[in-house]
Structure 1
Amino acid sequence: MLLFIKDKPRNAAMNMAIDEVIFDNLQDDAVLRIYLWDKAYTTIGYFQKNEAEATRRLTGGLLVNHKNDVSYGFCANAQSWQHIYNQEDTYKYIHTAIKKALKALGYNSNFAQVTSQKQTLCVQTLYTDDLMYNGKKILGSCMRRRGKKILVQGSVHLQLEDAAIEKFAAEFAKNLAEILDTNFKEIKLTDAHLQKAKAIAEEKYLNDSWNKKF
């Protein structure tokens, strides 16, 4: 089963903390959370030097500016996600699910051509299976693996209306469930999830000891 959460707009600390709570408490079922941002934020990859007032992610990757993008967190273990030790395949299959979801909205995106030129900003750096639309990168993802489970985070940089976001989220969940060869079920975050996330946000993602650690 793929558990699917369509979340409301939140601040950067809570968005990162909720993904971490889901990751830490992952059971047998894979979990996909689609989420938004309540205003503009910047996140950076785990190993990046923080040269801005940015929130450090648990995952890797580069600096990402958030505001109107639609973001996702995907958690799975080796039992449900057979590509757990293959980062390229993980991105390829997730991005294919997103590509199909965007096509259902009328956006015909394409996979990027790889470049060796690496920038600081994620949307200026192209990797295999990133998505392009009208000559611009609109999707990249980053990953953290712990043992036999992964957390993948990414953002679709298109400004979608509410109805389009709802359709995109449902299509993404459906497509990802097909890749997992399972069904999906929409669920809500529990009070326990949110209480744990609030504590982690305050102790970690709002704290310079985490955000400025490098």
Structure 2
Amino acid sequence: MNMAIDQVLLESSSNDPIVRFYQWSRPSVSCGYFVAVAEVELAYPERNYDFVRRLTGGGMVDHRNDFTYSIIVPRGHALSEAKGDVSYELIHRAVSRALHSVGVENDMQSEDTGSGQGVCFDTPVTKDLVLADSGAKLAGAGQRRNKFGLLHQGSVLADGLDGNLFSRHLLDEFGNSRGDYQLSEFQLELAKKLAAHRYSSAAWNLRR
């Protein structure tokens, strides 16, 4: 359902970026669009989790100890029209400032340490965020562009993170001038159908 809501928001008409924060009702692992299922099974052999393939790229994310957010940017907006590495950096700089505001000291990774398709928090890639003291990965994301705009799905390690305070600071980074966005009944029904027929299906999740 989380993946379905993001897709519906991406494909809906909007004049401004939407920042969405969400949680997982059960232990879950998501993988980027291009990750092979065999890699997921090798990394998480216990299989005591729900599994879903994201619309965005990137690696495997264990959502049992993270804080997840999405940013949906409509076509025509500067972030949507920017090249992938530029939009990734600009969004992560905003995330970095929000984390600094809640006392989490962090830096931006300057070079790749992996392909970006492994276990997400094992291998930071360029423009990911890392802890200032240890260099351990703190935040990463996957992106997808299409004719509707840009979808950025991000994950931040939750150890000691005040999620409510962080989310308020991140909203401030994006202006937060339009208030809370509410899904319409039509959007909610579309999301339920996508959740059932795409993101819960073997045809989608086991396609690689």
TM range (shorter): 0.7 to 0.9
Query: Whole-Å Cα distance in 2 between the matches of residues 83 and 89 of structure 1?
Result: 10
User: What amino acid does structure 2 have at the position aligned with 1:110?
Assistant: D
Secondary structure, in 3 states, of the residue corresponding to 1:74? strand
Secondary structure, in 3 states, of the residue corresponding to 1:196? helix
Hey, what does 2:126 align to over in structure 1? 128
Query: Whole-Å Cα distance in 2 between the matches of residues 125 and 170 of structure 1?
Result: 28
Query: Whole-Å Cα distance in 1 between the matches of residues 105 and 20 of structure 2?
Result: 23
> Do structure 1's residue 81 and structure 2's residue 78 form an aligned pair?
yes
Hey, what does 1:5 align to over in structure 2? none
Structure 1 length as normaliser, TM-score?
A: 0.83
User: Any unmatched runs of 5+ in structure 1?
Assistant: 1-13
Q: How far off is 1:147 after superposition?
A: 2.4
Hey, what does 1:31 align to over in structure 2? 18
Query: Whole-Å Cα distance in 1 between the matches of residues 155 and 37 of structure 2?
Result: 20
User: Any unmatched runs of 5+ in structure 2?
Assistant: 42-46
Greater CA drift, 77-86 or 109-118: 77-86
Secondary structure, in 3 states, of the residue corresponding to 2:85? helix
Judging by fraction of residues, say which structure has more strand.
1
Q: How far off is 1:32 after superposition?
A: 1.1
Q: How does 1:53-202 map to 2 (within 5 A)?
A: 54-82=51-79, 84-118=81-115, 120-133=118-131, 134-147=134-147, 149-160=149-160, 164-177=162-175, 183-202=177-196
User: What amino acid does structure 2 have at the position aligned with 1:126?
Assistant: P
Secondary structure, in 3 states, of the residue corresponding to 2:171? helix
Secondary structure, in 3 states, of the residue corresponding to 2:204? helix
> Do structure 1's residue 47 and structure 2's residue 34 form an aligned pair?
yes
Secondary structure, in 3 states, of the residue corresponding to 1:73? strand
Secondary structure, in 3 states, of the residue corresponding to 2:55? coil
Hey, what does 1:3 align to over in structure 2? none
Q: How far off is 1:76 after superposition?
A: 1.1
Hey, what does 1:9 align to over in structure 2? none
Query: Whole-Å Cα distance in 1 between the matches of residues 155 and 187 of structure 2?
Result: 22
Secondary structure, in 3 states, of the residue corresponding to 1:188? coil
Query: Whole-Å Cα distance in 2 between the matches of residues 117 and 98 of structure 1?
Result: 22
Q: 1:106 to 1:20 in 2, by over 3 A?
A: same
Q: 1:127 to 1:38 in 2, by over 3 A?
A: same
Secondary structure, in 3 states, of the residue corresponding to 1:70? strand
Q: 1:100 to 1:184 in 2, by over 3 A?
A: farther
Query: Whole-Å Cα distance in 2 between the matches of residues 85 and 70 of structure 1?
Result: 26
Q: 1:115 to 1:176 in 2, by over 3 A?
A: same
Secondary structure, in 3 states, of the residue corresponding to 1:138? strand
Q: CA RMSD in A?
A: 2.0
Secondary structure, in 3 states, of the residue corresponding to 1:37? coil
Is the contact between residue 174 and residue 184 of structure 1 (CA under 8 Å) also seen in structure 2? Answer: no
Runs of 4+ in 1 over 6 A off after TM superposition: none
